Amino acid sequence: MNFILYLIIFAMGITFGSFCTLAVYRIPRGENITHKRSYCTTCQHKLSFWDMIPVFSYLFLGGKCRYCGEKIRPRYFILEICSGFVFVLLAFSIQLNIFSFEIDKYVYLFFGMLYFMSLFILAGIDKEKIHIENSVLIFLTIVVACYMVYLYVVEQTNMYRYVIYLALICCLVAFNTYSLHKKAKDNYTIGVLILSMLMVTFTYEGQFVLTVILTLLSIAFDILLQKIRLNRRKCKKVDPKESLPIPIGFYLCVSNILVVILTNIYFLIGD
């Protein structure tokens, strides 16, 4: 029976992943992500139900559009698969069991899914645009705030820590939103700071420290790869214009997802 439960969670994961791929494409372009029907980005043909089944449509169509034959970028398939496995690992890390209904675990799974979904979208947009999307940060702030309210009302958790963090986050989000409307451009550094504060609030300080360490290692590895790539072109001196900007938000999101799951599993094994 547990297998069926985790299969359902995997199906939910790939569905969320499919939505994330849509959001990553549309949000930077200012397109509606809920009411506008999905379409091929090459031929603009509206997709049918059978074209939008997460993972399976990509496999059955051979990674190509049914209507124009254009290849579909494999990142969509990869994100859907990764999202499914991440959701399953999250459920496994909290020992979710169909035979013992523990409401706190299901609530954590629900908010964890929304949290990870937001990180997926932020990571995808930042990877492509080097941009921390303010609207997604606002949604993530609401998710984190709702989870904090649940912890306080139901589990009687001490709220002092969360109130301070959320107050700082709200101030930063307000400043970033004001800056966006005033200058028509948000501040990347402020966006990264807001994202970091949200991670600290939803997880714990220790997990965030591990996230930062993993992020710095990933960025260092990225810079090293860039230098190797430039050296292969026989560049004697690295031209700053040739160096690609580092998507800090992308590495933060991916690192935080890995850290949350791995630390949960570590404590699970320890118990």
Q: What is the chain written as a DSSP string?
A: -HHHHHHHHHHHHHHHHHHHHHHHHHGGGT--SSSSPPB-TTT-PBP-GGG-STTHHHHHTTTB-TTT-PBPPHHHHHHHHHHHHHHHHHHHHTT--TTS--HHHHHHHHHHHHHHHHHHHHHHHHHHHS---HHHHHHHHHHHHHHHHHHHHTT----HHHHHHHHHHHHHHHHHHHHHHHHSS--HHHHHHHHHHHHHHHS-HHHHHHHHHHHHHHHHHHHHHHHHHHHHTT-SS--TTTSPPP-HHHHHHHHHHHHHHHHHHHHHHH-
Is a pLDDT exceeding 60 seen at residue 267?
A: yes
pLDDT in tens, 156-170: 777 777 788 888 888
Give the whole-number percent of the chain exceeding pLDDT 70. Answer: 92
Mean pLDDT across 219-246: 71
Q: What's the rounded Cα separation, in Å, for the pair 267 and 54? A: 32
Structure tokens at 29: 């372009």
Q: What's the rounded Cα separation, in Å, for the pair 187 and 193? A: 10
Is a pLDDT exceeding 70 seen at residue 69?
A: yes
pLDDT score of 39: 78
To the question of pTM greater than 0.85 for the whole model, the response is yes
Q: What is the mean pLDDT of the chain?
A: 85
- As a whole number of Å, the CA-based R_g of the chain is 20
pLDDT in tens, 6-64: 999 999 999 999 889 889 988 888 888 877 778 777 787 787 777 788 888 888 888 88
Between 128 and 241, residue with greater pLDDT = 128
Is a pLDDT exceeding 80 seen at residue 238?
A: no
Q: What's the rounded Cα separation, in Å, for the pair 227 and 243? A: 8
Torsion of CA 157, 159, 161, 163, to 10 degrees: 150
pLDDT in tens, 130-187: 999 989 999 999 999 999 888 888 777 777 777 888 888 888 888 877 777 676 666 8
pLDDT score of 150: 87
pLDDT score of 237: 54
- Beta-carbon count within 10 A of 68 CB: 11
Is a pLDDT exceeding 70 seen at residue 257?
A: yes
Q: Which of 102, 85, 76 is nearest to 7 (CA)?
A: 85
pLDDT score of 116: 96
Mean pLDDT across 229-254: 73
- C-alpha separations of 226 from 51, 239, 245 in Å: 37, 11, 10
